[in-house]
């Protein structure tokens, strides 16, 4: 059987991943807490791979964060999104460690940050530093853990990067003392037809098979299940991993698929370039994720898969069997620490299709989105343009147009949500908007229940043009509502409350109904003061410091949304 298999399988041109030896015991744990992970390297996330490990603090903030090795603070960054407060430390061995979602820096770095925030009159800063500015020794406290940025709860996001390439590396390959004696868990096996003529159990549709553990391996949960295929098919698997002290379902480090004893596909998540992370949308079965929110990891490569994580891909991982036979497959799932699970199953191949009539359907070329070149499609209601490599394979461009409804200035353009986009594409939706509102016109993404979310864009001659990174339903609407700013720790309506002597800070709740907050600035007595922003809590605050002494003062806060609507709040007070 192996000789027959080799007769039609051939090696692909996919990038081949390579494992190198990483220094063990060079880095220490960045906190004096157990290394319990709520997220690991390569964990599957919407539109990206997780590029570090998340060390849980079990709900606590303010735990001292230490430099993992000698080096220097090479970058300081503060912002409301992403990693929030984050530090980068570059080490002499060619690696950089990253510490994200911090509540605050140490005293010296806090002073440096505040000085530059005032100098640039901006809460958000991003500075690259020289080796002599903030050198650190292993174990020095550089910051404190927190929950800033796009964090779902208190924890420390910790990364190790290649200092030259900026690629994210798997920190667990550096010998950290994570307790892990637990093998990965296999959940679902998926068999997928590669074209319209392939069949699985007699039909041209994917087949999902739940799995269960049986001794040292995984088998079909329903013993009566079977797989019979004809034509070109691919396989995918749903799986996760845990540590000995689990706090969640984490990602699987490596997956290997063998057919009749020959490895036809394997990958391991050792390093991930940040500019390739969005290719997760062809690493998983995107359509099933959009429909059912499952991460089925595909064991085959689409044409525009540029991930450098693959060890072996024979025939790009696809299988085609020219004769009727029974084939034995094995999935092997493994983690960094050598814990391994296997899934054994059989597949019967047919020499003749069980479907009497071909499903091939003619599609005009203008309705095909080519993955490897630009596309330009203009219809009465819209114009759609793409760059090279915007998709992972050629896609059929299906759309419908619904007439304009209330509070919409255009037709609703409906694109299939099941097609992933790798690079931003340009969409212009033609519309009729009064001249006085054209500077407020934007695209909105409409969900299935009719809810609208801001999709950006600006007026362009006869419509709104925006860059989009997802398909869905789009309309032109306008945003004329200014942000809402409400005092949080004092009474807005009380004219008698002018004394802030007992307050340590001035706090506001800040929100916007549609496009979102673009900028904000506060002045006391005409001088800019630092307002900090926590979008998860919709909280904006100024902590009284040397820029506001005792006496009478006048505050002016200006908040602007992404369309240019402005709210100005003024308050006189006494300290």
Per-residue pLDDT of the chain (575 residues; tens, 9 = 90+): 333 343 344 344 444 455 678 999 999 999 999 999 999 999 999 999 999 999 999 999 999 999 999 999 999 999 999 999 999 999 999 999 999 999 999 999 999 999 999 999 999 999 999 999 999 999 999 999 999 999 999 999 999 999 999 999 999 999 998 999 999 999 999 999 999 999 999 999 999 999 999 988 999 999 999 999 999 999 999 999 999 987 789 999 999 999 999 999 999 999 999 999 999 999 999 999 999 999 999 999 999 999 999 999 999 999 999 999 999 999 999 999 999 999 999 999 999 999 876 656 555 656 899 999 999 999 999 999 999 999 999 999 989 999 988 778 999 999 999 999 999 999 999 999 999 999 999 999 999 999 999 999 999 999 999 999 999 999 999 999 999 999 999 875 555 567 898 899 999 999 999 999 999 999 999 999 999 999 999 999 999 999 999 999 999 999 999 999 999 999 999 99
Distance CA 497, CA 34 (A): 48
Question: 0.95 cut: is pTM over it?
Answer: no
Beta carbons of 533 and 519 less than 8 angstroms apart: no
Q: Please, which residues bridge with residue 561 across strands?
A: 517
Is 124 strand, coil or helix? coil
CA distances 188 to 209, 215, 234, 236, 237, Å, are 6, 17, 14, 8, 6
- How many CB atoms are closer than 10 A to CB 323? 10
Q: Please, which residues bridge with residue 415 across strands?
A: 399
114-118: which pairs have CB atoms within 8 A and are 24 or more residues apart? 114/530, 117/78, 117/530, 118/528, 118/530, 118/547
E strand or H helix that includes residue 257 = strand 254-259
Contacts of 476 (CB under 8 A, 6+ apart): 408, 409, 410, 429, 431, 433, 441, 442, 443, 444, 463, 464
């Amino acid at each position: 059987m192996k000789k027959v298999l080799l007769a039609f399988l051939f090696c692909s041109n996919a990038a081949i991943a390579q494992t190198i030896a990483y220094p063990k015991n060079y880095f220490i744990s960045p906190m004096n807490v157990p290394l319990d992970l709520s997220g690991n390297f390569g964990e599957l996330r919407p539109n990206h791979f997780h590029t570090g490990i998340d060390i849980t603090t079990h709900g606590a903030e303010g735990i001292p964060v230490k430099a993992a090795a000698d080096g220097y603070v090479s970058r300081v960054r503060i912002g409301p999104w992403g990693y929030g407060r984050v530090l980068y430390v570059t080490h002499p061995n060619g690696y950089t460690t990253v510490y994200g979602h911090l509540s605050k820096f140490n005293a010296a770095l806090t002073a440096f940050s505040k000085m530059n925030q005032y100098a640039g009159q901006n809460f958000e800063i991003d500075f690259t530093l020289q080796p002599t500015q903030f050198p650190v020794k292993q174990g020095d406290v550089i910051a404190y853990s927190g929950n800033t940025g796009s964090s779902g709860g208190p924890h420390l996001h910790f990364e190790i990067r290649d200092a030259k390439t900026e690629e994210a590396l798997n920190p667990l390959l550096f010998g950290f003392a994570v307790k892990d004696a637990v093998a990965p868990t296999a959940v679902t096996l998926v068999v997928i037809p590669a074209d319209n003529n392939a069949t699985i159990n007699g039909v041209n549709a994917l087949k999902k098979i739940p799995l269960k553990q049986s001794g040292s391996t995984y088998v079909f949960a329903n013993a009566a299940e079977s797989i019979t295929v004809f034509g070109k098919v691919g396989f995918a698997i749903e799986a996760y991993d845990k540590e000995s002290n689990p706090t969640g379902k984490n990602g699987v480090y490596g997956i290997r698929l063998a057919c009749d004893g020959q490895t036809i596909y394997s990958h391991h998540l050792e390093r991930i370039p940040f500019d390739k992370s969005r290719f997760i949308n062809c690493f998983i079965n995107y359509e099933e994720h959009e429909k059912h929110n499952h991460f089925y990891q595909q064991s085959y490569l689409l044409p525009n898969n540029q991930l450098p994580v693959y060890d072996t891909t024979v025939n790009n991982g696809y299988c085609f069997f020219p004769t009727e036979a029974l084939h034995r497959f094995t999935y092997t799932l493994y983690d960094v620490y050598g814990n391994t699970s296997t899934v054994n199953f059989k597949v019967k191949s047919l020499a003749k299709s069980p479907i009497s009539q071909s499903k091939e359907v003619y599609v005009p070329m203008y309705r095909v989105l080519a993955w490897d070149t630009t596309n330009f499609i203009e219809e009465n209601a819209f114009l759609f343009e793409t760059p090279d490599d915007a998709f992972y394979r050629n896609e059929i461009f299906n759309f419908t147009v619904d007439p304009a409804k209330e509070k919409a200035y255009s037709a609703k353009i409906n694109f299939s949500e099941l097609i992933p986009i790798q690079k931003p594409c340009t969409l212009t939706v033609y519309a009729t908007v009064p001249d006085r509102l054209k500077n407020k016109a934007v695209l909105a993404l409409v969900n299935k229940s009719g809810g609208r979310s801001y999709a950006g864009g600006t007026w362009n001659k006869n419509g709104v043009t925006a860059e989009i990174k997802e398909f869905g339903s789009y309309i032109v609407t306008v945003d004329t509502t200014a942000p809402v700013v409400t005092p949080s720790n004092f009474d807005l309506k009380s004219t008698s409350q002018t004394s802030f002597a007992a307050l340590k800070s001035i706090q506001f709740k800040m929100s916007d109904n549609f496009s979102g907050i673009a900028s904000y600035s506060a002045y006391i007595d005409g001088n800019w003061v630092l307002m900090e922003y926590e979008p998860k809590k919709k909280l904006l605050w100024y902590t009284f410091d040397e820029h506001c002494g005792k006496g009478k003062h006048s505050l002016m806060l200006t908040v602007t949304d992404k369309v240019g609507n402005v709210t100005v709040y003024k308050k006189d007070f006494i300290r």
